Amino acid sequence: MASKAVYLHRDPMLKKRDDFEDILEERRRSSDLRYALRCYTPLLYKGLTPFRADELKTMVLQSDQLQYVINQVSKQTSVTADEVEAEAAAILEEMAHHLQISTIRFFAFVLSKVFKTLFRSVCVNEEGVQRLQQAIQEHPVVLLPSHRSYMDFLLMSYILYTYDLPLPVIAAGMDFMGMKIVGEMLRMSGAFFIRRSFGGDKLYWAVFSEYVRVMVKIGFAPVEFFLEGTRSRTAKSLTPKLGLLNIVMEPFLKGELFDVSLVPVSISYERVLEEVLYARELLGVPKPKESTSGLFKARKVLSEDYGSIHVYFGQPVSVRSLAEGRVNRSQFNLMPRHIPRKPGEEVQSFVNDSAYRLVRAQEENMVLKPWVLLAVLLLQDQAAGDGRGTSLDELTERAVWLRDLCRQFGAFLHWPDHMIPSQVVSSSLSLHRGLVRISEGRVQLALDQAGAEARRPLGAATPEEELLNRAVIVLSCASYRNQALHVFIRPALLASAIQTASSNQKQDVYNSFSFLRNMFSNEFILSPGAAVQDFEEACYLLVKSGALQINQQEVLVTETGQKTLTFLTSSLDPFLQGYQMVCRFLCEEASEGLTEKRFVPAIRKFIVQHLLTGRLRHAEVLSSDLQKNALAALLRLGAVRKLRGRGEEQLEVNKVMVNSLEDTLGGNLPTQKAVVARL
Amino acid sequence: MASNSSDRQRVAQHRLRIITGHLQRPADGDADIQAAECKAQETKPNVASSEGRTMPRRRQEIMKWNGWGYSDSKFLYNKKGQAEFTGKRYKLSGLIIPALKDWMEGTFGASLQHKTPATPILNTSAVQPPTLNEAFVDEIKSTGIPFSHDPEDRVFRAHGHCLHEIFALREGKIGRVPDMVIWPSCHNDVVKIVELACKHNVCLIPFGGGTSVSSALECPPEETRTIVSLDTSQMNRILWIDEKNLTAHVEAGIIGQDLERLLNESGYCTGHEPDSMEFSSLGGWVATRASGMKKNIYGNIEDLVVHVKMVTPRGVIEKGCQGPRMSTGPDIHHFIMGSEGTLGVVTEVTMKIRPIPEYQKYGSVVFPNFEQGVACLREVARQRCAPASIRLMDNEQFQFGHALKPQVSSIFTSFLDGLKKFYITKFKGFDSNRLCVATLLFEGDREKVLQHEKQVYDIAAKFGGLAAGEDNGQRGYMLTFVIAYLRDLGMDYYVIGESFETSVPWDRVLDICRNVKARIVRECKDKGVQFPPLSTCRVTQTYDAGACVYFYFAFNYRGLSDPVHVYEQVEHAAREEILANGGSLSHHHGVGKLRKEWMRETVSDVGLGMIKSVKDYVDPNNIFGNRNLL
Ligand SMILES: Cc1cc2nc3c(=O)[nH]c(=O)nc-3n(C[C@H](O)[C@H](O)[C@H](O)COP(=O)(O)OP(=O)(O)OC[C@H]3O[C@@H](n4cnc5c(N)ncnc54)[C@H](O)[C@@H]3O)c2cc1C
């Protein structure tokens, strides 16, 4: 069942994708002012009854759902219903957007200028835009862009304005509200603000969910939010958050709408504005609070070349077809629909699977630039190498090999075939000259010049500081490599499984695969419960590329396949080693009273030691993202537990289990069976 | 006995005119089809009627074999290409309907050039020869109860009026049909027949009016025993009327129009008026839990029935008294009602009757949109002031109603004409592509009707409703009787369609209407239907806790190789959509074989088990083997 939803067995090479148009081209030719003031008459949802933003608020406050919760809260807290309603109104006030076309016009003007300075092009698949336009008229639409940059949602609104589509209302994190003017500007351009956490606040949840639901139900405007919940600092897709998806699907599931269209949108940046910021953040340099002045300091950013952006509007996904045969909608028949109810298991797993499917759809339509492939190779060389770098010729040759492999795996690779490969390589490198160093025809990561500017003017940096500076470069580079990981992840898991499995029996390989997949399912987008499909997909790809032969019983590596497998296992290497490090830390160093909050600084110290002593080569392991994912996996598997004590929750480590997981990750076989059994 | 008071006679005459207003002439009664005195009848029936019954044993004398209703009444396009309704029975009979052609062309993309005529006559050689249980036949012969194995008789009783049934007949395709037809004329005849059927293990299928729309009458193709269709049409007498308790005891084969006409002669009525009342029978209503248009005053069949007699393989089931309500364990009437011919034959029913209402008034209200209309009906139900009938049609049906307006006839003048059209569409800002209309029927004494009418119009006004005249309302109700004929015309021109219904809580009415209509459109598209379908609905009954919703669905099937299959897939999907949106499996059409796949989820495993164990006890050898419900 899930297999149908997640993976269709068809040749990825045949995946048809639309062509792109550069929307900046027109901007470079005609007046931005006229563009910002032009007549804007989008085609709207056919079932729309027009409402003003304030009418919308009244509708929300008056809705059966919200009234029900207001009365409930009032009874439970013995505060009068009127007061609770006033509180609800205040929440709504804080939350609600104030979409105004004038603000959009302002942004249209400013962004035109900004985009033209920053980017070479902003490319959009116009067929996707047309599909979207169609979808908007048919059913309420939910836009689901990938999230890599602050830029994302302004960019989305800008594009929709450009194509005369209705402007979206956007669920944004509260952190923007810190920036007074900008916050209000964003509100007027359609953003509505949600607190980052509102735990058990029933009223808040009720207001928020009803607000979104009403907008979906009446088709007020396309609702936009980020499935990943926050910007991915690593350029890997994040495990989807389900709250909002649940809310926007509900009107369909409860029969209040015939259908809802979900439109995954993939936004790929050739260079992310936040590149270095992210790396610092992952290394524990605290994230600058998003203040207005901070944003304006970013003016320096304006002087750089960020290449191009590709925005791909995916195929609209009908919630109705997703739910077909998955959700029995009559489960809502026996209770009034306005009484809030936790979604049942069936609905939860449906929403979860859908979310994964949508994130995968985002991944599939992410444009990969040749540089991404170079980043893959340079990082591998750096970890393995002698510090001498790779010769340009060799790099080019391997890049071409990798290009072909990628294509076989169905990647959406923008490799300019009209250019000779060496040219492609050198022009890619030049856009990222902050990250690479080329000397005497050899290329490597620019580790030694790293932090040159940050280095204290007086006195040498400590070894640790030097290490962190190098790690900034490594992580920045990794964020490019990560863009391509979704292409390789399943074959890479299979390659590693083959390496660690006790035999080449298909069943053994599958067991190893399934173990690794389970282990890494907080790290990569791997739909829960789809182990078999993922295995089949991986087998299919590797057989097709000639690396494997698989018969009834056995999985055999072909002569030429070894190269592919080695490549694939190395790409997983930093993660394997990282997870092992986390395990080792927990076994060796975790003391009484370790909390989740103290976990990251503590393990960072541990890893720094290992890196400095040369016992660990992958500086990437310093990424707090990886560390947290590993911990989440261990928690999920029950190897670590959270203990409720006084104050913060403490982490209780099951050392036997963690130890055996570490062994198994390291390809140490004997304990594997026991662990797999326990999983 | 009918009262002699001339006053009553007058009221009765008046009522006759209104209720059976679609009949211009008294039915062609003729003496020899009248029920012969049942030999077994001990007491002489005390209600004798001078008039004959509508339904002869040989239905083919007056009815179509492959379409709806009387042979003399049908829609056709005349030589000038104008639609016309033939015959003399109905108000519409003999009239030209000028707008119908445009509507059919516009709505379905149908064209007079593309005809799909039906096989004109029944080819009896296509009918399987009967497999007869000789011993059974011999014993039946000796009882003197009339029977037949004439192919025509058998084909007539092998179907109801589902689309696939009629479509097959039009194509001259005939599947499994009963091996013989038998016409008992009283309860005791039925007792004998059932005894013999049990003795010789033949399968019995009760047949009332043949208006089933649930495949209930279809013979199970896997049935190898002799199938006997037990036609109740000759059990059609009113046995007595009890004016003190206002009840009448009636044989179950009587058809609706006869029952009303005969009661009217005595100044009474049952008030039970399903749209099929011209042909459907009392026993059929009980067996399917039927619902009449005026249930708001008179109740549905379960409210009307005081006592029922049913002959089962185990013997006769009935209650021992006529108390108006009892607390005596589960009500055994509820095993009988809705049993769909699976347990036995309903032979006699004691039914509530009412004096004919003094005054009747039609009405109609136009709403700016369907949402407002539903809100109004909901309010009317909340205040429990629903008129005898209130129906809300969506915009498509409203437009359809207009297409059926005949040329020159005062009663048919439409409110959309002239000034009024201007008033509604321009002044009030009603959008003629969104507005919808409710038709109303009030009954009672004059004073109260007028008061009631005002109350309802006042509520309507709160929802933007505008009174739109009596004529419009009356026309709406009159059309319900001729609409069934229209499907045959559609089928002459590549258009197939059907209606189906559900009941649903108030808060889901709008959702279910929208979703089911949209689902139909989507499914048609997905299934390769080349033209947009007609997908429309109306709310036909109101209850305290919900409403009955009726869907009409039709499409032009040109270009499809297996239109009936496509049709069935779409209807199936529509039913799934209904269930997913909180609608019931059926409000009144019943389950039959068409909808039985959903019984389990409808009544739960245990519920199904209960029904099954009743069946196993009452009819262990599956004599009543039509295989409905379970
Ligand atoms: C145009 C049209 C309009 C309709 N409108 C309505 C409506 O408004 N309301 C409504 O409720 N229905 C309506 N129906 C459906 C149908 O008329 C009803 O189901 C009706 O009750 C069937 O009665 P019948 O006598 O025609 O039964 P049949 O069609 O002959 O039989 C129906 C089922 O009942 C069984 N049965 C019949 N008589 C007996 C008996 N005496 N004892 C035991 N079992 C028996 C049969 O075996 C069969 O299973 C309509 C149908 C059509 C075609």
pTM: 0.90
Nearest chain B alpha carbon to A335: B582
Q: Is B626 in the pocket of ligand 1 (CB under 6 A)?
A: yes
Three-state SS across B58-124? CHHHCECCCCCCECCCCEEECCCCCEEECCCCCCCCCCEECHHHHHHHHHHCCCCCCCCCCCCCCCH
Residue keyed to tokens 């004529």? B471
Q: Which of B551, B566, B588 represents a domain boundary (last residue)?
A: B588
Which of A485, A504, A519 marks a domain boundary?
A485
**How far apart are the C-alpha atoms of B525 and B522, rounded to whole Å?**
5
The interaxial angle of helices A81-95 and A53-62, nearest 10 deg, is 140
Name the helix (H) or strand (E) containing B148: strand B147-148
Ramachandran class of A594: left when φ > 0, alpha when ψ lies in -120 to 50, beta otherwise? beta
Q: What is the CATH number of the domain that holds B85?
A: 3.30.160.650
Q: Phi and psi at residue A534, in whole multiples of 5°?
A: -60, -40
Let me know if residue B29 belongs to a domain: no
Q: How far is A256 from chain B (nearest CA, A)?
A: 6
Q: Mapping DSSP to helix (H, G, I), strand (E, B) and coil, where does residue A138 land? A: helix
User: What sign has the CA pseudo-torsion B614, B617, B618, B620?
Assistant: positive
Is residue A76 one of the residues assigned to a domain?
A: yes
Domain boundary among A303, A335, A364: A364
> What angle is formed at CA A285 by the lines to CA A283 and CA A286, rounded to 5 degrees?
125
Co-location of B215 and B151 in the same domain: yes
Residue A397 shares a structural domain with residue A269: no
Asked if B155 and B63 touch (Cβ cutoff 8 Å), the reply is no
The pLDDT of residue B9: 60
The alpha carbon of A32 is separated from its chain's Cα centroid by a whole number of angstroms, namely 33
Q: Say if residue A201 is in the same domain as residue A125.
A: yes
Same-domain pairing of A117 and A250: yes
CATH number reported for the structural domain that contains residue A107 in this entry: 3.40.1130.10
DSSP string for B234-271: G---EEEEETTTTEEEEETT-BHHHHHHHHHHTTEE--
Active-site positions of B read 550
Q: What is the domain extent for residue B98?
A: 59-108
pLDDT of residue A54: 81
| Average confidence (pLDDT) over B7-22 | 54
Tell me if B211 CB under 6 Å of ligand 1: yes
Name the DSSP class of B553.
E
Alpha-carbon gap: A64 to the closest alpha carbon of chain B (Å): 11
What average pLDDT does range A589-604 have in this prediction? 85
Backbone angles phi, psi at A260, to 5 degrees: -135, 135
Split at pLDDT 50, 70, 90, the class of A14 is low
What is the pLDDT, as a whole number, of residue A289?
Answer: 52
* Residues 313-332, chain A, touching B (beta carbon < 8 A): 328-330, 332
Atom of ligand 1 nearest to the CA of B483: 1
Q: Identify the three-state secondary structure at position A395.
A: helix
Residue B605 lies in a domain: no
Strand pairing category for A436-439 and A442-445: antiparallel
Same domain as A322, residue A186: yes
Angle, helices A561-588 vs A463-500, to 10°: value is 120
State chain A's mean pLDDT as an integer: 88
**A625's tokens:** 């993202």
pLDDT at A597: 86
What integer pLDDT is reported at residue B550 of this predicted model?
96
Ligand 1 geometric centre to CA of B584 (Å): 19
* B349 and B249 inside one domain: yes
Is B611 part of any domain? no
Whole-number Å distance, alpha carbon B570 to ligand 1 midpoint, is 24
Distance B211 CA to ligand 1 centre (A): 5
Average pLDDT over residues B84-90: 94
User: What single letter denotes the amino acid at residue A542?
Assistant: L
Give yes or no for a contact between B313 and B619, defined as CB atoms under 8 angstroms apart.
Answer: yes
- Which three-class secondary structure state does DSSP give residue B334? helix
The rounded distance, in Å, linking the Cα atoms of A448 and A473 is 10
Strand B354-355, strand B305-312: pairing: unpaired
Q: Do A255 and B519 make contact, defined as CB atoms within 8 angstroms?
A: no
Helices marked H in B321-444: 333-336, 370-382, 395-403, 418-422
**pLDDT tens digits for B150-206?**
999 999 999 999 999 999 999 999 999 999 999 999 999 999 999 999 999 999 999
Look at residue B419 and tell me whether its pLDDT is greater than 50.
no
* Averaged pLDDT for residues A547-563: 92
Mean pLDDT for A210-223 is 93
Q: Annotated binding residue at B271?
A: no
Atom of ligand 1 at shortest range from CA of B277: 17
* B171 lies in the same domain as B94: no
Angle A301-A302-A305 from CA coordinates, rounded to 5°: 90
| Mean pLDDT across A255-259 | 96
Q: Which of B175, B171, B234 is nearest to B207 (CA)?
A: B234
Is A297 inside any structural domain? yes
Query: pLDDT at residue B231 above 50?
Result: yes
Same domain, B188 and B251: no
Split at pLDDT 50, 70, 90, the class of A181 is confident
- Residue B556 predicted with pLDDT over 60: yes
- What are φ and ψ of residue B70, in 5° steps? -70, 140
Examine the pLDDT at A227 and tell me if it is beyond 80.
yes
In a shared domain, residues A306 and A229? yes
pLDDT band at B524 (very low <50, low <70, confident <90, very high): very high
For residues B326-347, average pLDDT: 97
Phi, psi for B367 (deg, rounded to 5): -110, 150
**Does B191 lie in the same domain as B103?**
no
Position B21 pLDDT exceeds 70: no
* B343 labelled ligand-binding: yes
- Looking up residue B329, the CATH number of its domain turns out to be 3.30.465.10
Whether B506 and B568 map to the same domain: the answer is: yes
Residue-wise pLDDT tens digits, A350-370:
999 999 999 999 999 999 999
- So what's the pLDDT on residue B405? 84
Q: Which residues of A touch B507 (CB under 8 A)?
A: 336-337
Closest CA to A192 of A61, A57, A96: A96
Give the per-residue pLDDT at B481: 85
* Minimum-distance ligand 1 atom for the alpha carbon of B216: 49
B250 in the same domain as B305: yes
E strands, A73-168, in order: 121-124, 141-145
Query: What is the average per-residue pLDDT within B457-482?
Result: 89
Assess whether A330 and A392 both reside in one domain.
no
Q: Is A254 a member of any domain?
A: yes
Between residues B27 and B333, the one the model is more confident about:
B333
Does residue A34 fall inside a structural domain?
A: no
Number of domains in chain A: 3
Within-domain flag for B245: yes
Within this chain, do residues B87 and B143 fall inside the same structural domain, yes or no? no
A547 domain residue, yes or no: yes
Question: How many inter-chain contacts (A to B, CB under 8 Å) are there?
Answer: 24
Among residues B451, B496, B454, which one has the least CA distance to residue B116? B496
CB B256, CB B266: distance < 8 Å: no
Q: Are residues A263 and A124 in the same domain?
A: yes
Q: Report the share of chain A in percent with pLDDT over 70.
A: 90
Q: pLDDT-derived band of residue B480, with 50, 70 and 90 as boundaries? A: confident
Same domain flag for A568 and A633: yes
Residue A24 resides in a domain: no
Q: Based on the domain organization, do B253 and B318 belong to the same domain?
A: yes
Helix (H, G, I), strand (E, B) or coil at A242: coil
Mean pLDDT of chain B: 90
Q: Are residues B246 and B320 in the same domain?
A: yes
Instruction: Tell me, yes or no, whether A440 and A339 share the same domain.
Output: no
Q: Is A405 found in the same domain as A456?
A: yes
- C-beta of residue B288 within 8 angstroms of C-beta of residue B212: yes
Phi, psi of A559 (to 5 degrees): -60, -50
Which two tokens mark A186?
């964003």
Query: ∠ at Cα B253 (B252, B254), nearest 5°?
Result: 95
Task: Indicate if A197 and A218 belong to the same structural domain.
Answer: yes
| CA–CA distance, B266 with A162 (Å, rounded to integer) | 78
Q: Which residue has the higher pLDDT, A297 or A260?
A: A260
Q: Which domain holds residue A481?
A: 376-485
Residue A256 contacts B, CB cutoff 8 Å: yes
Q: Which residues of A244-254 are buried (b: 16+ CB within 10 A; e: fewer)?
A: bbbbbbbbbbb
Phi-psi region of A105 (alpha: psi -120 to 50; beta: other; left: phi over 0): alpha
> In A162-250, which ranges are E strands?
169-173, 191-194, 223-224
Q: Considering just the CA atoms, what is the radius of gyration of chain B in Å?
A: 24
Domain CATH for B198: 3.30.43.10
Among A64, A218, A256, most B C-beta atoms within 10 A, so best to mutate, is A256
CA–CA gap between residue A666 and residue A660 (Å, rounded): 10
**Strand partners of residue A513:** none
On whether residue B629 sits in a domain, the answer given is no
Percent of chain B at pLDDT exceeding 90: 82
Work out how many domains chain B is built from and give that number.
4
| Domain final position from A336, A364, A392 | A364
- The finding on whether B490 has its CB within 6 A of some atom of ligand 1 is no
pLDDT digits (tens, 9 = 90+) for A516-551: 999 999 999 998 889 999 999 999 999 999 999 999
Q: Is the pLDDT of residue B41 over 50?
A: no
Residue at B623 is within a domain: no
The helix/strand/coil state of A124 is strand
Ligand 1 geometric centre to CA of B257 (Å)? 14
Q: Is residue A673 part of a domain?
A: no
Q: Are residues B162 and B226 in the same domain?
A: yes
Answer whether residue B176 is part of any domain.
yes
Question: Is there a domain that residue B518 lies in?
Answer: yes
Final residue in a domain of this structure, among B355, B381, B398: B355
Residue B582 to residue A255, Cβ atoms within 8 A: yes
Residues A412 and A395 in one domain: yes
B206 neighbors B624 (Cβ within 8 angstroms): yes
Q: Are residues B515 and B562 in the same domain?
A: yes
